[in-house]
Amino acid sequence: MPLPTSIGSAIPKRGTLQYGRWEAFQHPTGQAEFLPVIIAQGKEDGPCLWLTAGIHGPEHTGPLVLHQLLTEELVAKMRGSIVAIPALNPVGLRMMAREPHPDSADPNRLWPDGKPVKPYDPDLEPPSPLEVAYKALFDVMLASADYLIDYHNAWTGSISFAFQDRVLYRPDEDGKAKAAAEALLRQQAEMLKAYGHTVIGEMSTKKLIDEKLHRSTSAALLYLAGKPTFTVELGTGHMPDPAMIAASAAGTRNVMRWAGMLDGELEPITGIQVVDLGYPVRRLSTPRAKDACVVMHTVQSGDIVAKGQPVAEVRDIWGRPIGDGLIYSEYDGFVIGRSHGIFFYPGQAILFTAVPLDGEMVEPYPEDYFK
């Protein structure tokens, strides 16, 4: 899709990298909060790929991927354009805080949801300045983006992977909406295959909406614009892994090749573990502690596990085994990452696990969603 004549103060120019600021909102102390903008435009026409990062304050790998990716050498070879926002949450990044000032909500749950605008209600809190800013930026995305990748970090020591969202559609009488959603899912799957990292399906539709993940950066564009998008998770956030940075930059260039923005064969993805069990999986926080306990994990991120396999030792604070002293996997699958720390209350997940996918990847919105 065509770029606007400018995005904030960044003005695209063929064959160059251009830099600028997109004014987000004003602080009451007089300073302006801005988002940094990078526009890379090839000399020939082609698709527009949006790349966003830095929406969660403790997650610092994404900006470094963009810095490694966006070079004069890339621009000289590419067709089309890239719009990159390395810091969607500047305040959070500075403070290493997930929730930014002036909003106490998760910023990756503030993008438009497609619901009708409701009449003004003085008893309800109005959208925060950040949510208003994201809505304005989203309108620019809608007008220009053909594809989007949003860069995140997961848990300390987790593997590098990408989420595949379930695709939601609004049912119609002739079934065209479902067919379009299925076609979009296929495009998304091809894009993820080109990226080349481990692929993990999202949670159930009900939980996804309950968690407001349909309002994440990538899901909002996927659902409301019908554009292929995905979110990547690049291991530990507060101490970026150079191997994951390089592998993500290579994967992004591969997406560009898939999209017709770069020539040549796909680059091999090296330096990271890629797990493929041969069947689709989704994320699940499992297993969970049954008692207040001290846990010593006996599996690592990326390990393949079988249902009933011991995955941790469990003791009380004095070091005495609780029960038989073990916690067992409840599913076949593999370990995405381990929960932080060793002290757990009953019901807390000790692992984040990829388990066999259940449900459909293309589903209608809940009946009452748009009411």
Spatial separation of the C-alpha atoms in residues 232 and 153, rounded to whole Å: 8
Spatial separation of the C-alpha atoms in residues 65 and 242, rounded to whole Å: 9
User: Residue 3 gets which letter from DSSP?
Assistant: P
**198 with 322, same domain?**
no
At 172, is the pLDDT very low, low, confident or very high (cuts 50, 70, 90)?
Answer: confident
Spatial separation of the C-alpha atoms in residues 344 and 290, rounded to whole Å: 9
**105 with 228, same domain?**
yes
Q: Are strands 147-152 and 229-234 parallel, antiparallel or unpaired?
A: parallel
* Within a domain: 8: no
Amino acid at 144: S
* Within a domain: 323: yes
- Residue 311 sits in a domain whose CATH number is 2.40.50.100
Q: What is the mean pLDDT of residues 41-67?
A: 97
- Residue 86 sits in a domain whose CATH number is 3.40.630.10
123 vs 234 pLDDT, higher one: 234
**174 with 301, same domain?**
no
Out of 237, 253, 274, pick the residue that ends a domain.
274
At 270, give phi and psi (nearest 5°).
-125, 165
Q: What is the pLDDT of residues 286-315, one digit of tens each?
A: 999 999 999 999 999 999 999 999 999 999
**89 with 157, same domain?**
yes
> Nearest CA to 314 among 340, 338, 289?
289
Beta-carbon count within 10 A of 92 CB: 23
This prediction has a pTM of 0.96
Please give the pLDDT value at position 119: 84
Find all residues with CB under 8 Å of 275, minimum gap 6, and list them.
Answer: 159, 198, 302, 304, 334, 354
Please give the pLDDT value at position 370: 86
Greatest CA separation for the chain: 68
* Within a domain: 46: yes
* Within a domain: 100: yes
Residue matched to tokens 């925060």: 128
Q: What is the mean pLDDT of residues 205-232?
A: 95
123 vs 192 pLDDT, higher one: 192
**326 with 196, same domain?**
no
- Indicate the average pLDDT of the chain: 95
- Residue % of the chain over a pLDDT of 70: 100
At 48, is the pLDDT very low, low, confident or very high (cuts 50, 70, 90)?
Answer: very high
Number of structural domains (the chain) is 2
> Nearest CA to 39 among 90, 80, 98?
80
Helical axes 217-225 vs 129-144, angle rounded to 10°: 50
Find all residues with CB under 8 Å of 311, minimum gap 6, and list them.
Answer: 287, 297, 298, 299, 305, 327, 328, 329, 335, 350, 351
Whether 142 has a pLDDT exceeding 90, the answer reads yes
Q: Which of 81-85, 281-285, 365-369 has the lowest mean pLDDT?
A: 365-369
**232 with 124, same domain?**
yes
**257 with 298, same domain?**
no
Q: What is the mean pLDDT of residues 63-74?
A: 98
**56 with 150, same domain?**
yes
Spatial separation of the C-alpha atoms in residues 85 and 94, rounded to whole Å: 16
Spatial separation of the C-alpha atoms in residues 269 and 160, rounded to whole Å: 11
> Nearest CA to 59 among 106, 103, 25, 27?
106
Three-state secondary-structure class, residue 221: helix
Out of 274, 307, 332, pick the residue that ends a domain.
274
Whether 101 has a pLDDT exceeding 80, the answer reads no
At 122, is the pLDDT very low, low, confident or very high (cuts 50, 70, 90)?
Answer: confident
At 117, is the pLDDT very low, low, confident or very high (cuts 50, 70, 90)?
Answer: confident
Q: Which of 33-47, 162-176, 281-295, 346-360 has the lowest mean pLDDT?
A: 162-176
**118 with 244, same domain?**
yes
Three-state secondary-structure class, residue 289: coil
* Within a domain: 270: yes
Give one DSSP letter per residue of 161-175, joined into a string.
EEEEPPEEE---TTS
Sheet containing strand 333-338, edge to edge, reads 16-26, 32-41, 79-85, 44-53, 147-152, 229-234, 160-164, 198-201, 281-285, 351-356, 333-338, 304-305
At 124, is the pLDDT very low, low, confident or very high (cuts 50, 70, 90)?
Answer: confident
Q: What range defines the domain where residue 155 resides?
A: 16-274
* Within a domain: 366: no
Out of 248, 274, 300, pick the residue that ends a domain.
274
**22 with 160, same domain?**
yes
Q: Which of 102-106, 239-243, 327-331, 349-353 has the lowest mean pLDDT?
A: 102-106
* Within a domain: 185: yes
Whether 96 has a pLDDT exceeding 90, the answer reads no
Strand partners, 349: 288
Spatial separation of the C-alpha atoms in residues 254 and 30, rounded to whole Å: 43
Q: Which of 112-126, 231-245, 305-319 has the lowest mean pLDDT?
A: 112-126
Spatial separation of the C-alpha atoms in residues 5 and 13, rounded to whole Å: 9
**256 with 342, same domain?**
no
* Within a domain: 371: no
Q: What is the pLDDT of residues 327-353, one digit of tens each?
A: 999 999 999 999 999 999 999 999 999
**100 with 144, same domain?**
yes
